[in-house]
Amino acid sequence: MIMIATLASLLSCAGCIVTTSTYDAKVREVEVLRDAYASSNRETSRLAGEVEALSKQVAGQKAALQELSSRADACEEVRMREKRESAERDRELAELRKKAGAKEEPAARPSTE
């Protein structure tokens, strides 16, 4: 009977040792996972800050693009208006030259006769 009690005592102690070593391994695993989770949270925060900065930069560039686009449209309107005015002046000049040429022809005819 003593032998059985001794054997039972040894087996229960061995179970405690195995359970303790398994527990210690799990504790170490939890610590590693906790560190990885904290690192992941820090990286997430850093990336969120980077995204915010890049979003502000994109918004600024969109505003600048809109400003440049508006200026380009205004310049194009001015250019087209000046082109129309130039074409109108060219037509007026051609008409004036035509009238001036028509007036000079009758004066030139008597001198050629």
Residue 113 to residue 102: CA distance in whole angstroms: 18
pLDDT tens digit string along 30-80? 999 999 999 999 999 999 999 999 999 999 999 999 999 999 999 999 999
pTM as predicted: 0.51
Q: Is 104 helix (H, G, I), strand (E, B) or coil?
A: helix
Residue with the bigger pLDDT between 35 and 15: it is 35
84 conformational bin, left if phi > 0, alpha if psi -120 to 50, beta if neither: alpha
C-alpha radius of gyration, the chain, whole number? 48
The residue assigned the tokens 């005592």 is 9
